């Protein structure tokens, strides 16, 4: 099988972030479709320092701010902004953090808000993870 980076038979391309450590797992931080009605899919982002690759400690507010900043970098690299986001899936380690998460979320998104699901999940030591779909 050819190297995944060299494949050209897919209707999408990965979004590449310069000067950022490669993901620990087998996934692209984001992918952009190549057809009409182009979509950008952003993989689950976490409160990971983009320079070091280390998870940043902090409360739900600090981790949400960093997670959204990481998402914004991928959106911009893929030709989008928060205004292009049509759907998000949010994973919270503690469902009781919903109110604080929502308050921080409202600092970067404005009405009309994208579709959104918030799910309680075991996140292996982090408090929040967010994935998104943006229409370009």
Instruction: Give the separation between CA 20 and CA 51, rounded to whole angstroms.
Output: 6
Residue 3: its pLDDT value, please? 46
Mean per-residue pLDDT, 35-63: 90
**Residues 72-99 pLDDT 10s:** 999 999 999 999 998 999 999 999 999 9
pTM for this prediction: 0.82
* Structural domains of the chain ordered from first start: 32-135 (3.30.1330.40)
64/27: higher pLDDT: 64
**Residues 19-39 pLDDT 10s:** 777 776 677 787 777 775 689
Residue 111: its pLDDT value, please? 86
**Residues 92-126 pLDDT 10s:** 999 999 999 999 999 999 988 988 999 999 998 99
18/41: higher pLDDT: 41
């Amino acid at each position: 099988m050819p190297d995944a980076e060299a494949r050209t038979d897919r209707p999408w391309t990965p979004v590449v972030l310069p000067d950022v450590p490669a993901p620990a797992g087998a996934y692209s931080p984001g992918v952009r479709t190549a057809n009409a009605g182009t979509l950008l899919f952003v993989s689950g982002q976490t409160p990971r320092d983009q320079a070091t690759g280390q998870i940043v400690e902090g409360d739900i507010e600090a981790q949400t701010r960093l997670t959204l900043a990481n998402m914004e970098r991928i959106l911009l690299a893929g030709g989008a902004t928060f205004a292009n986001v049509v759907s998000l899936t949010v994973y919270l380690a503690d469902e009781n953090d919903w109110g604080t998460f929502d308050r921080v979320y409202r600092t970067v998104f404005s009405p009309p808000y994208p579709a959104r699901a918030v799910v309680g999940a075991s996140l292996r030591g982090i408090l929040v993870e967010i994935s998104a779909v943006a229409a370009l």
